[in-house]
Amino acid sequence: MKKLIFLFSIFLIGCAITIYNIDPINEYFSIDFSKYTEIGFLITPVNYTGKYESIGMVEYKLIPGAKYLSTSKRYDPTIYESIPSGYTWIFDDIEFSQAVDSIYFMAKSMGANAIMNFNFSIVYNEVFNNPMIYSNSIKIPGYRITGFAIKRID
């Protein structure tokens, strides 16, 4: 039985698709809270020092979906058709502002008018990042936002 499992593993590894290139990332973004400030909602990365009532902890995670799509085709004369010859992962578009809007609406629905200790990080969906199982493993990046929802009493 162990030999059968070993031979099957060798077969799967032999069918693996190899990743050849990962492009560098050089991005800039800012977090603009002005639209929330204009409607009287405070978002701050520090502690709020005025009087407030505790509402609750809030957390929101936004990770895009992805599709493994053909990038090019080649003509196969044996079947008289073009067939895929290369593949790449294509991520769905997401915006950081989606995550900020979502955590704002979550806090607002709880009765908060502020989020203090606002924090964010880049997180990954690593469900498909096991090269022993998937021949085209991928880590999908997304955003995680946390904070402490409060009701200011000023």
More confident residue, 7 or 68: 68
Residue 64: the pLDDT is 93
Residue 70: the pLDDT is 72
Type and span of the H or E element at 9: helix 2-14
User: Is residue 151 a contact partner of residue 111, using CB atoms and an 8 Å limit?
Assistant: yes
Residue 47: the pLDDT is 95
Residue 5: the pLDDT is 56
Residue 150: the pLDDT is 98
Residue 91: the pLDDT is 87
Give pLDDT tens digits for 24-80.
888 877 889 999 999 999 999 999 999 999 999 999 999 999 888 777 666 666 666
Predicted TM-score (pTM) of the model is 0.68
User: Hey, what domains does the chain have and what are their CATH numbers?
Assistant: 29-64+94-152 (3.30.110.70)
Q: Report the first-to-last Cα separation within the chain, whole angstroms.
A: 72
Average pLDDT over residues 108-134: 87
